[in-house]
Structure 1
Amino acid sequence: MSLIIPRGRIVGLLATAAVLAALGACSSMQTSDSVLGLVTPYRIEVVQGNVVTREMAAAVKPGMSRNQVRDILGSPLLTDVFHADRWDYIFTIRRQGAEPQLRRVTAHFQGEQLSRLEAEQELPTEAAFVASIDTFKKKGDKPPALELTDAQLQALPAPKPQPGAQAETPPPARTYPPLEP
């Protein structure tokens, strides 16, 4: 005795199996950051607040007015109605290929004068901050020298005079008509 399965039923079973396989593949891909290990999805770079560097914090001195502090550090991210004598500078950045960063700096005022500036952690220098978010750098690459040394300048050949080139004479003076008729 042979078992006969109708053709429509076989197609239905195959379609169901294909759908289940596709759903299983989708759920396994959601746990990965890349599609097939080759393509990574775009992630939005999120930057919030004002970056405060070591140089900026060193420029702010106790006794400065609120406007002077604002000129150096920028407008604070948070000003609290209940703590009018406190400005909070919070900086966060999430950039693909770089470690997320979070920094908090608080400026305390007495009246209109700055009393102290507090940071939860040591602030980076401007160069260290730029290096920490630079995702285009290659490890071990040195920046190219932008100026020649004296020895390199002396090693350059002297410019050759151009044949047929003469000393340029200034163009003849131009005369313009008067502006009013």
Structure 2
Amino acid sequence: MHGMSFPSWRVGATLTVALLVAGCASSTGGGAAAALQPYRMEVVQGNVVTREMLEQLRPGLTRDQVRGLFGSPLLTDIFHADRWDYVFTIRRQGAAPQQRRVTVYFASDRVQRHEAGELPSEREFVASIDAAKVKARTAPLELNETQLRALPLPVGRPAAAVAAAGPASAPQRVYPPLEPDARP
């Protein structure tokens, strides 16, 4: 038995394919590696607090009023009973992660002051979660007129017969009676 060797054309073909794949990966900004990323689940935690909501917060509101305005706080601490933290985070595939925090301080169960970073308006928040991406993933449920005309005709039926038949209807079904026949 003589030594096993690959024909030179196989080696050349293998190198050519490897170079093409490497070239595609570098020219598309990630190539095969970008296409093979695992699915990352969307993670949303906490309470969304917008600029409009924060404008309604004022000193003197009770804890129940704050809860009605912002919801239950994400963090309450038994060691800091006069402080409620509202933290909101969202992580979506293809979008930058977002994190916001609002801290409300109480004195005698009334709002004393609050701290908050820059909060988006309601419109800005909706735009930031990129509703267009969600819409793009949703398949249309109906065909438009152009798509309907592009469909192939049923086999064995001329176009005039299909047009005259109008919309398709379900076949009529005949069911046996529910009760046995009581005839003598």
What band does the TM-score fall into relative to the shorter chain? 0.5 to 0.7
Uncovered stretches (5+) of structure 1, i.e. residues with no partner: 11-28, 138-181
Uncovered stretches (5+) of structure 2, i.e. residues with no partner: 6-24, 134-184
- Residues in 2 aligned to 1:92 and 1:36: alpha-carbon distance in whole angstroms: 27
1:94 aligns with 2:91: yes
Equivalent position to 2:56, from 55, 59, 83:
59
CA distance 1:135–1:39, change in 2 (3 Å): farther
**What code does the residue aligned with 2:132 have?**
F
**What code does the residue aligned with 1:71 have?**
G
Percent sequence identity over aligned pairs: 59
1:129 aligns with 2:125: yes
**What code does the residue aligned with 2:41 have?**
I
**TM-score when normalising by structure 1:** 0.55
The alignment partner of 1:85 has SS state of strand
CA distance 1:36–1:97, change in 2 (3 Å): closer
User: In the TM superposition, what are the counterparts of 1:73-92 in structure 2 within 5 Å?
Assistant: 73-92=70-89
- Richer in helix (by share): 2
- Residues in 2 aligned to 1:111 and 1:67: alpha-carbon distance in whole angstroms: 13
**TM-score when normalising by structure 2:** 0.54
The alignment partner of 2:80 has SS state of coil
The alignment partner of 2:132 has SS state of coil
- Residues in 1 aligned to 2:58 and 2:45: alpha-carbon distance in whole angstroms: 25
Match in the other structure for 1:42: 39
CA RMSD after TM alignment: 3.0
1:4 aligns with 2:2: yes
Report deviation, 1:103.
0.7
Report deviation, 1:135.
4.7
Report deviation, 1:111.
1.7
**What code does the residue aligned with 1:113 have?**
R
Aligned length: 114
